Amino acid sequence: MKFFYLIGACVFFISGCSQAPVYYFETPRELTDEQLKINFIEAYSPYLKNITFFVDAGHGGEDRRNKGSKGLAIEADVNLRVALALRNYLRQAGVRVIMSRDKDKTVALKDRSILANKSGADIFISIHSNAPGQEGDNSTNYTSTYYHATESDYEFEPMEKDLAKYVQRDLAYAMRNSGGLGSFDGTYSDYHIYPKQGFSVLRLTTIPSILVEAGFHTSTWEEPRLALEDFNKIEAWGIFRGLCRYFKAGIPKISFKDQTANEETQLVTYSIQDSTSIDFKSIKVFVDSTETQRFTFDEKQKMITVELPILANEEKSIRIIAANKNGNFCFPFYDIVTDKLLR
Ligand SMILES: [Zn+2]
């Protein structure tokens, strides 16, 4: 492994000369050897090729307040450099990428979600760097990744946590940072940070979404690294690698198959496909937000059949969650069932 030690230049003050701290970063082998990079991208692009990503570079334009104490790392610019590098890697893998901004401009928080929701993208990733709650704290530094959750489990999408876990692991590894101690694996529910609301971009975005806080621009140690484009490319490579590994682990795909009824019950059948197989114990079925045990799983046919009472001119919402043998949950799946066999 190749280490780059960068020794800060002398900075002259009225009082004399002081030296910036020594800091380092380690460049992944794929970014120093073009052939390794090509091999990696070729190996993973089949798993990504049908996914469209929406990449959101946090802040920018009129919102350029967040910065490190040395003024080297301005969060809006750091986020944009990471987002553009991530777009490059994804494009090299043949993936479609949409961005909330690709230059320094103002985009309102709620507009980021509106753009993402209208974009037809499958996954939303918001990129940020962090600052501590306490003013004057210039030592806190870690990598963290957030998913949206609320008090009620029903609103919580397990696949967003899966995605957060993969991205967090590879991003933290690429930066040589640990995760925060507030969570075991460095992923957090945004409910943890903003009780009862979470992050606006995660709350208002209806497609699966995560938000990374790559490092602390307020950290004396982290700030000079975040200011370097070469390091931002390493951050982006970490996020990209996490996405590659997440999609390689497979995502169960649920789709409606059949609906039958007799005088007492209705049976609604869904097919569930995955590149591995489905973990039966992970399957949960909800009818109108309440979990039900009235379902069967046919492993051979890869079918889930949900039993409902006869519906008298009413409709029921069905939600199914299920994970594959790699532990990856399906994308959010909801269906509306009526008493009439209209399908
Ligand atoms: Zn931010």
For residue range 205-251, what is the model confidence (pLDDT) as tens digits? 999 999 999 999 999 999 999 999 999 999 999 999 999 999 999 99
Q: Is residue 38 part of a domain?
A: yes
Tell me how far apart the alpha carbons of residues 171 and 174 are, in angstroms, rounded to a whole number: 5
Domain around 53: 3-248
Distance from the alpha carbon of residue 20 to the mean position of ligand 1, in angstroms = 25
Regarding whether 263 and 172 lie in a shared domain, the answer is no
Phi, psi dihedrals of residue 57, rounded to the nearest 5° = -85, 115
Regarding whether 282 and 133 lie in a shared domain, the answer is no
Distance from the alpha carbon of residue 207 to the mean position of ligand 1, in angstroms = 20
Distance from the alpha carbon of residue 59 to the mean position of ligand 1, in angstroms = 6
Q: Is residue 343 part of a domain?
A: no
Q: What domain count does the chain have?
A: 2
Domain boundary among the residues 223, 248, 273 is at 248
Distance from the alpha carbon of residue 212 to the mean position of ligand 1, in angstroms = 9
Regarding whether 46 and 147 lie in a shared domain, the answer is yes
Distance from the alpha carbon of residue 139 to the mean position of ligand 1, in angstroms = 18
Q: Is residue 193 part of a domain?
A: yes
Distance from the alpha carbon of residue 109 to the mean position of ligand 1, in angstroms = 11
pTM for the full predicted model: 0.90
pLDDT of residue 8: 40
Regarding whether 74 and 104 lie in a shared domain, the answer is yes
Distance from the alpha carbon of residue 58 to the mean position of ligand 1, in angstroms = 6
Distance from the alpha carbon of residue 233 to the mean position of ligand 1, in angstroms = 18
Regarding whether 204 and 262 lie in a shared domain, the answer is no
pLDDT of residue 154: 62
Decide if 235 contacts 82 (C-beta within 8 A).
yes
**Segments in the chain below pLDDT 70:** 1-23, 151-155, 340-343
Distance from the alpha carbon of residue 211 to the mean position of ligand 1, in angstroms = 10
Question: Of all helices (H) and strands (E), which one includes residue 109?
Answer: helix 109-119
The residue type of 29 is: R
Domain boundary among the residues 248, 276, 306 is at 248
